[in-house]
Amino acid sequence: MGTKIEEPQISETSLDPDNVNPQPSVMERVEELQANLAAGFPSCMKTMVRSNVRHGFWLHLPMPFCKLHMPKHDATVILEDESGEEYKTTYIAERTALSAGWKAFSAGHKLVEGDVLVFHLVSSSKFKVYIVRAFKSNKVDGRFGSLDVNVDAKPIRSVRMKRRKRTSKRAKCLELLPLNHAQDNVENNSLMVLDTKNERLVDQSDNDSKDLSAGLFDGIRSLASIIDFNEVKSIDSFVITVNGSGIDSELSEYHKIKYYELCCSQNSFLHDHLLKSISSKLAAEIITQTVNIAEAVKGCKLSTFQADYSLWDKTLKGFELLGMNVGFLRARLNRLKTLALELQEAVESERHRVSLEQDHMKEEKKSLEMKLVKLKEAMHRLDAEIENLKANAERHEFIFQEEVNAAW
């Protein structure tokens, strides 16, 4: 393959107040990474703050970048990491932010405050995401015990950058896990890291911290069958878990069965990415209302009011912002709403046409009835004239016969 000369890369960085200033060394790596990205595709960078990686469910992207390059309406946007793993997120155009799915990406890559993400827009709805870590370790061998890091350090994923030649350029990432990773997980009530592509549990080595984290990982393994929907073979093995607690008792048998059917249709737990701050009761209420709306949609008629569609969609949109996977229901709602509107407009148009034609026929009938009256009057007049002619003919015949019979 011949040498390819790359054009200068134009990148845009965040100007919003959430984008804190990263360390100079991190910034240098970010600039080097952006300089080596393929020309012709825009990119932007975003520095992680506490709300992006711990409690928040949103990631606001730079507004200037979004105004120029992102869709003007809500859309599904794919985030692809350096290893090729893809994550579905929802882009909220009004807020220029990534919502449903971002939390899973953040947790899956153990992002921490200060990490810098470079978003490379390789298609209209797909980002190639490069992570430049704020903290680096001295050794990397994949085991807890051999990491030479500060025990107070946060989870780290360092990025090693190699200067790339014109013919071949690439950025590599190495996963690093500190000794206190298990402790941080206990404190944050986060017992697992999920890969949202196939919902599998990510196994973590516990070499030197075996005693500390043995109970923790046992808990993870015991929940594996619940986390991986592919292992749910029937309603009997279907357990609804939110933040590690089962909420089946909060739902009626009817709602549980219907929710199971919805999950089967998407081959995943619809509640997988609900915000961690949501209580069990609220989660159960969200699931119940989701089932109710799904059943209402199934019972829709052409006569269903447009206001009902709007109310259901507004409710589902709220659930989606809380992390509930209801995008497929909203899509069905919008299709039905649009189809119903089109069919109703077609019926109204046809009704209007028929009504106009009916009015025309009525006018024509009225006109014909008036003509018929006139024709009947003419018939009566002509009948009278014929009778007069007959009388005259008889009188004339009488006169003629008198003349014939007259004496010579």
Question: What is the Cα–Cα distance from 312 to 76, expressed in whole angstroms?
Answer: 20
Annotate 126-189 with DSSP letters as a single string.
Answer: EEEEEEE-S---S--SS-STT----TTPPPEEEEEE-PPPSS---EEEEEE--TTHHHHHHHTT
- Per-residue burial over 268-299, b if 16 or more Cβ lie within 10 Å, else e, is bbbbbbbbbebebebbbebbbbbbebbeebee
User: Which domains does the chain show, CATH number per domain?
Assistant: 9-205 (2.40.330.10), 224-396 (no CATH)
Q: Where are the beta strands (DSSP E) in 70-146?
A: 75-80, 86-92, 97-98, 116-123, 126-132
Task: Tokens 């449903």: give the residue.
Answer: 100
pLDDT for residue 146: 31
Phi, psi of 369, deg, nearest 5: -65, -40
pLDDT for residue 387: 92
Per-residue pLDDT of the chain (408 residues; tens, 9 = 90+): 443 434 333 333 333 434 445 455 788 888 888 888 887 889 999 988 888 887 667 888 988 889 888 999 889 999 999 899 999 999 988 888 898 889 889 988 999 888 899 999 998 899 999 999 887 643 333 333 333 333 333 333 333 333 333 333 333 333 333 333 333 333 333 333 333 333 333 333 343 333 334 333 333 333 333 457 878 888 888 889 888 888 888 889 999 999 999 999 998 899 988 998 888 899 999 999 999 999 999 898 888 888 888 899 999 999 999 999 999 999 999 998 888 888 878 888 888 888 888 998 999 999 999 999 999 999 999 999 999 999 999 989 989 888 888 888
Exposure of 370 in the CB half-sphere (CA atoms within 13 A): 6
Exposure of 80 in the CB half-sphere (CA atoms within 13 A): 10
Distance of CA 141 to the CA centre of its chain: 40
Question: What is the Cα–Cα distance from 40 to 37, expressed in whole angstroms?
Answer: 9
The pTM assigned to this predicted structure is 0.37
Which residue type occupies 344? Q
pLDDT for residue 284: 92
